[in-house]
Amino acid sequence: MKLLHAADIHLGAKNSKLPLDRQNLLRSEQVLQIRELFSHADEDGFDAILICGDLFHAKKLQSKITTGFFSSVKEFSGPVLYIKGNHDEKFDFEFELPKNFIVLDENNPCFTLKNTTFWGQVDPQTIRQNYNPENQNVILLHGDFEKTNSNDYFDITKYTDNFHFDYIALGHVHTFSYKSVSGMPAVYPGSLFSNGFDECGDKGYVSVNLENKKFAFQKFAGRRYIICNCDITGFNTYEELHKIVISAIKDSGESKSDLLRVILQGYYSENSEKYLQTLQSSLSEYFYIEIVDNSKLKIDFDKLKNEKLSFKSEFLLLLEQNEPDEQVRNEIARLGIEALRGEDIS
């Protein structure tokens, strides 16, 4: 049996830092991409689709999002098995669900397809009453079974110490990972889409073959969030700055469809042509790009202290007399000089 294991889709989630048009476009794209995924699942030989929680991001969503998702479910000929996660545990299904959308919970703890039984995150005693060791058994769980201090921690051993599962399908952790628990594969597929710069890199689902006990991460999301660190130390002209940034972006492996955060680091001199608005405008061909300026002005303190009739020199002399800590003095001096030069305070 071949399974498509997904989790943490978070339909309706938005990155409030993005422009509104970009937020709306991303939400629409996600619904359409899921429809394409589900419609192709039959062609790819999947017998069932597993969604291990956090399908929806909030209790209330735009009807076009829920309608779009459930029309995707209908595109798949097999069952779509679902458990609720911490984000959608209060979501109300105030409409008739497709017949192939199976919610596994205490009221409906398991579902059997061919020789495989799928279990929801139910009380182990409920599993014991219906468990058939002759079948292949798969359990769907949502939460963090490794971080005991997490609010969403759960004890996986209450399942793995009492039953054998051919596959443990997990949700909640947004990065692909797997671990053998009592000899059983416990797999997080990660989130299907990324929803911010705290979730960079490839996102997707896991393809599972129960017969040969193999599984593999499959990249899916069309757009990625990418953070690009860029050391601009040593540049003088705007053209040099632009060349350094473009080179760093290309080294990050981006595409024009990605969402980029470029973090400027290093030091620049007083006469450097750091025209950041012009730089931002020159990169407008990317779907979304933001520039975070963590670079610092390189200051020749000795030279400034020797300037005559200068606010900068007076400021540095006063600071030297009143701040004994050299590290603190240098940082205050840097901020003060930037302010006197009309710079944004770094």
> What CATH number does residue 134 fall under?
3.60.21.10
Do 49 and 106 belong to one domain? yes
What total of structural domains would you count in the chain?
Answer: 3
48 and 181: one domain?
yes
pTM (2 decimals)?
0.83
pLDDT band for 340, please (50, 70, 90 cuts): confident
Q: Are residues 69 and 187 in the same domain?
A: yes
Same domain, 261 and 250: yes
Let me know whether 257 and 305 are in one domain.
Answer: no
Is residue 339 predicted with pLDDT exceeding 70?
A: yes
Whole-number percent of the chain with pLDDT over 70 = 94
* Pair 67, 107 in one domain: yes
What is the structure's pLDDT at 341? 65
Give the confidence band of 281 by pLDDT, cuts at 50, 70, 90.
very high
Confidence at residue 67, expressed as pLDDT on a 0 to 100 scale: 86
Q: Could you report the per-residue pLDDT of 207-243, keeping only the tens digit for each?
A: 999 999 899 999 987 789 999 999 999 899 999 999 9
**Contact criterion met (CB below 8 Å) for 109 and 163:** no
Same domain? For 240 and 328 the reply is: no
Instruction: Specify whether 164 is located in the same domain as 142.
Output: yes
Q: Rounded CA gap, 324 and 145, in Å?
A: 50
Domain finish residue from 198, 219, 240 = 219
Q: What tens digit of pLDDT does each residue of 289-321 get?
A: 999 999 887 776 666 667 776 777 777 778 877
Query: Coil, helix or strand for 64?
Result: helix
311 & 292 share domain = no
Same domain, 228 and 305: no
Residue from 201, 211, 148, 156 nearest 178 by CA: 156
Residue 346 scores a pLDDT above 60: no
Q: Which domain holds residue 277?
A: 224-298
User: Which residue, among 221, 55, 79, has the nearest Cα to 138 in the 3D structure?
Assistant: 79
Asked whether the beta carbons of 139 and 159 are under 8 A apart, the reply is yes
Instruction: Give yes or no for residue 75 having a pLDDT over 70.
Output: yes
Interior/surface letters 159-178, b for 16+ CB within 10 angstroms, e for the rest? bbeebebbbbbbbbbbebee
